[in-house]
A and B are shown apart, each in its own frame.
Chain A
């Protein structure tokens, strides 16, 4: 079992009468990507701010690489890279100057700073834009710049708050590619987003938050199992004359929960994660299968099943 890098232990955070984060416990292992999803006001940003020491929990604690965020905030800050949802910058700076400023803030020695800037610019596809003024950048490039800034000190853990918000589809695809590359480099990533397909694609595990509570967590299969969205749906097509025979044969199978005709297709729902037994049964009855396609519940379906739209 790989080492736990971020350990969120029974964290609660309230604002006046609002419980923004309610007894949440989570663990993220080294090199893993944790996606946090939830409706507005679910407590995602608050949780991320607690992790990176910008908010002190009322109870519970967060440990990063074994060090408590409450007790050793400076040490933890040096291990984390936080990309906020909102872009902020000193006035009148070019991209290179912006990165140099933050490099200096992170305490990267002058001798290494330019090399680091070059590396992160290459990684985030900002190479050649070092002299462009920050205020003239598009939203997509601003997000790249924020990510580049976050990566400058080469942190072990990346905390990304809504990195894809406001991005067009192309920029989102490119961002996903960057995040996948970072994952392959062994970075531990905690990312919050409203864009479920992105989270589904890049996360090793997912936490679903609602009204400050952790509703579900685990990898996608575990979420399917826990949420009850385990049914596998098979769409198949057989010759018209064999449609009735196929329906009768499949309805008698133990794990098939429903089998209905829709136009020329049969839609079969099963409780089994593997659908080969359906195909085997049809072949056993000498039914000629023209098309066979499996669908499994996606994150959106799991999310809709596990949340009720409650906000804090």
Chain B
């Protein structure tokens, strides 16, 4: 079969698609969907029916024609309906076969996991088609009433379609790692939040992961007061939304193809059973490990991936994750650079010369920090897969922990370099030709406290990387303790935030602000040193945000010492735990002679 035909076949001839299609086109489903949709439309129109003289409505009605308003309500309703129902419909992707007790048969059929899972995403197109079909009379009415720009209407429909695909793909991606209901709830919540933020008029709208910014655009564009607060054209928003949604779909598709790295080890080496040493003496309740059983069964399904992937898993998986993070980091730096350049030198923002330097450096460090946090999570694995040896290239086996460590360090180096290089590059390419600078001596460019922005760019980036390295070591150790990576990540986030970031700050604030304590000789003298353990304090010191006790020239050594110690401690603990876990999970048990 030709590659293109095979690719199409993955979507079209998926068994899950066939099953969904059979269930969707039953009279009951169509009836319920029609009832709910018309109910939603009625609810949306209710304010007009209840109080036609409402001031806001009248204002809106003066700006928009009735057909335009109706089309907006319908498209908004369809988006809301999709946000709620599409993730819920996908809940059954693994749940159905597991509850129906035929998931083992799915695994044994040899079907590729991508083909099995992706059918759900294909079937949601039918669902969207059903929604649009049921809304067709309303759409025809809105077009007949006039005021609807056909181009904008068609673009809206395209965005809704992309949004539904993105919703489906992200839900399926999350379903590989989380319980389906939790995955659906997260996607519904995330979708609703992003759509809500997308409705806020912004000149540079970052929440373009839903069609909401484009759908609401005609409303904001009709208000004269919005000029300058929203993008200049609908097309810009449409392109941003379409691009972002397509990126989400592609990334989710790749993630589903790769699947989770949940190794089949001794404990879960039988489909549907997880047996730990000592289970024969435990009560039944303590032998139930549903949260491990589910991913273990999915791991059996992912044994059906292609042989080419299996032999080069390390390169494909870590390569994709590393490249994905680099592309994300690069995109953020590019957008940030373009936004700064455009605002300063094209729109003349540089003349005001106040907050932008401060903002620029703060945002630059935020991008660096955000990338590092993602890398910490991506390049760590749960306890049962950390010591797995997987084929890296052409079957050469490499331990997961080694791949993780190397990928993280490489990414941290690239990110640190980028974070330091971006301000220098912009300085050279944009600021100097325009007779300005990204490294002024004062806080807001030409006023406020003195700030060494060169130090901010260099030491700020390096200190974030140092903190990330310590947090990474901590996360890797916690992954060896907790069963789930998410639990480890949440624990580390809470501990680090509380113990390393907040307590030293709180201690310092206490000794700076409470007069009685301020006069306690030794403890009070230690306050600046203790405060400087916190990365928050360090960044604030770099920006010279504190008063006299923590001026910009205070020593940052405590931060590096504390994080160095944390790093060493975590490495020692991890190394002590490693051999035991290797023995527990990977080595063949000695035979129980008298069983």
Residue-wise interface mask of A (89-130) relative to B, using a CB-CB cutoff of 8 A (1 in contact, 0 not):
111110001001110111100100000000000000000000
> Which residue from B13, B23, B264, B271 sits with its C-beta under 8 Å from A110?
B13
Closest to A86 in B: B101
Q: How far is the CB of A51 from chain B (nearest CB, A)?
A: 11
B22 at the interface (CB under 8 A from A): yes
Contacts of A149 in B (CB 8 A): 105
Given A16-B278, A17-B595: A55 and B271 within 8 A (CB)? yes
Closest to B104 in A: A54
Cβ–Cβ contact A77 & B110, under 8 A: yes
Cβ–Cβ contact B108 & A82, under 8 A: yes
Contacts of A183 in B (CB 8 A): none
A218 at the interface (CB under 8 A from B): no
The listed residue with most B CB atoms (<10 A of its CB), out of A13, A52, A74, A87, is A74
A80 at the interface (CB under 8 A from B): yes
Closest to A73 in B: B303
B270 at the interface (CB under 8 A from A): yes
Cβ–Cβ contact B100 & A89, under 8 A: yes
Contacts of B307 in A (CB 8 A): 72, 74-75
Cβ–Cβ contact B100 & A22, under 8 A: no
Q: How far is the CB of B347 from chain A (nearest CB, A)?
A: 57
Closest to A80 in B: B108
- In the complex, A212 Cα to B592 Cα: how many Å? 12
- In the complex, A107 Cα to B116 Cα: how many Å? 11
Contacts of B106 in A (CB 8 A): 105
Closest to A149 in B: B105
Q: How far is the CB of B485 from chain A (nearest CB, A)?
A: 23
Contacts of A136 in B (CB 8 A): none
B15 at the interface (CB under 8 A from A): yes
- In the complex, A82 Cα to B275 Cα: how many Å? 23
A18 at the interface (CB under 8 A from B): yes
Interface residues on B, range: 35 or more
Cβ–Cβ contact B100 & A312, under 8 A: no
The listed residue with most B CB atoms (<10 A of its CB), out of A72, A104, A110, is A104
Closest to B268 in A: A56
Which parts of B262-295 form the interface with A (CB within 8 Å)? 264, 266, 269-273, 275-280
Cβ–Cβ contact A14 & B100, under 8 A: no
A58 at the interface (CB under 8 A from B): yes
Which parts of A33-76 form the interface with B (CB within 8 Å)? 46, 49, 52-56, 58-59, 72-75
Cβ–Cβ contact B104 & A16, under 8 A: no
Given A88-B102, A110-B13: A49 and B271 within 8 A (CB)? yes
Given A58-B589, A90-B96: A16 and B276 within 8 A (CB)? yes
Contacts of A46 in B (CB 8 A): 270
- In the complex, A123 Cα to B266 Cα: how many Å? 40
Contacts of A297 in B (CB 8 A): none
Q: How far is the CB of A111 from chain B (nearest CB, A)?
A: 11
Contacts of B280 in A (CB 8 A): 15-18
B486 at the interface (CB under 8 A from A): no
A12 at the interface (CB under 8 A from B): yes
Given A14-B591, A15-B270, A56-B269: A88 and B100 within 8 A (CB)? yes
Which parts of B81-133 form the interface with A (CB within 8 Å)? 96-97, 100-111, 116
Contacts of A97 in B (CB 8 A): 22
Residue-wise interface mask of B (563-593) relative to A, using a CB-CB cutoff of 8 A (1 in contact, 0 not):
0000000000000000000000000110110
Cβ–Cβ contact A82 & B105, under 8 A: yes
B19 at the interface (CB under 8 A from A): yes
Closest to B265 in A: A56
Closest to A74 in B: B304
Cβ–Cβ contact B108 & A18, under 8 A: no
> Which residue from A18, A89, A105 sits with its C-beta under 8 Å from B595?
A18
- In the complex, A212 Cα to B23 Cα: how many Å? 44
Closest to A92 in B: B23
Cβ–Cβ contact B279 & A16, under 8 A: yes
- In the complex, A90 Cα to B15 Cα: how many Å? 11
Contacts of A93 in B (CB 8 A): 19, 22
Contacts of B591 in A (CB 8 A): 12, 14, 19, 22
Q: How far is the CB of A17 from chain B (nearest CB, A)?
A: 5
Contacts of B105 in A (CB 8 A): 82, 84, 88, 102, 105, 149
A78 at the interface (CB under 8 A from B): yes
> Which residue from B102, B108, B266 sits with its C-beta under 8 Å from A53?
B108
Cβ–Cβ contact B100 & A105, under 8 A: no
Contacts of B15 in A (CB 8 A): 101-102, 104-105
Cβ–Cβ contact A54 & B275, under 8 A: no
Contacts of B277 in A (CB 8 A): 16
Contacts of B102 in A (CB 8 A): 88-90
Q: How far is the CB of B580 from chain A (nearest CB, A)?
A: 18
Cβ–Cβ contact B19 & A90, under 8 A: yes
- In the complex, A78 Cα to B109 Cα: how many Å? 7
Given A77-B110, A82-B108, A102-B109: A54 and B300 within 8 A (CB)? yes
- In the complex, A82 Cα to B105 Cα: how many Å? 8
- In the complex, A84 Cα to B277 Cα: how many Å? 27
- In the complex, A87 Cα to B105 Cα: how many Å? 10
Cβ–Cβ contact B111 & A105, under 8 A: yes
B18 at the interface (CB under 8 A from A): yes
Q: How far is the CB of A22 from chain B (nearest CB, A)?
A: 7
Q: How far is the CB of B177 from chain A (nearest CB, A)?
A: 22
Contacts of A82 in B (CB 8 A): 104-105, 108
Cβ–Cβ contact B13 & A104, under 8 A: yes
Given A14-B589, A17-B595, A18-B280: A107 and B100 within 8 A (CB)? no
The listed residue with most B CB atoms (<10 A of its CB), out of A16, A18, A84, A101, is A16
Q: How far is the CB of B329 from chain A (nearest CB, A)?
A: 36
Q: How far is the CB of A283 from chain B (nearest CB, A)?
A: 57
Cβ–Cβ contact B588 & A90, under 8 A: no
Closest to B272 in A: A54
- In the complex, A157 Cα to B270 Cα: how many Å? 21
Cβ–Cβ contact A56 & B270, under 8 A: yes
- In the complex, A74 Cα to B15 Cα: how many Å? 18
Closest to A101 in B: B15
Cβ–Cβ contact B14 & A54, under 8 A: no
- In the complex, A74 Cα to B308 Cα: how many Å? 12
Given A77-B109, A88-B101: A15 and B275 within 8 A (CB)? yes
Which parts of A135-163 form the interface with B (CB within 8 Å)? 149, 153
- In the complex, A101 Cα to B111 Cα: how many Å? 12
Closest to B106 in A: A105
Closest to B109 in A: A105
Cβ–Cβ contact B271 & A54, under 8 A: yes
Contacts of B273 in A (CB 8 A): 15
Contacts of B107 in A (CB 8 A): 54, 77
Contacts of A52 in B (CB 8 A): 108
Closest to A97 in B: B22
Given A12-B591, A16-B278: A77 and B101 within 8 A (CB)? no
> Which residue from B19, B110, B266, B595 sits with its C-beta under 8 Å from A19?
B595
Q: How far is the CB of A312 from chain B (nearest CB, A)?
A: 6
Assuming A16-B277, A72-B307, A88-B104, what are 14 further A-B pairs, CB within 8 angstroms? Answer: A12-B591, A15-B279, A16-B276, A18-B280, A18-B595, A54-B271, A54-B272, A58-B266, A78-B110, A88-B100, A91-B96, A102-B105, A102-B109, A106-B110
Pairs A-B, 8 closest by C-beta atoms = A88-B101, A88-B102, A104-B15, A105-B109, A56-B269, A55-B270, A54-B271, A77-B110
List the interface of chain B (C-beta within 8 A of A). 13-15, 18-19, 22-23, 96-97, 100-111, 116, 264, 266, 269-273, 275-280, 300, 303-305, 307, 588-589, 591-592, 595
Q: Give 17 CB contacts A-B under 8 Å.
A: A13-B270, A16-B280, A17-B280, A18-B595, A55-B271, A56-B270, A80-B108, A82-B105, A88-B104, A92-B23, A97-B22, A102-B15, A102-B109, A104-B15, A105-B109, A107-B110, A110-B13
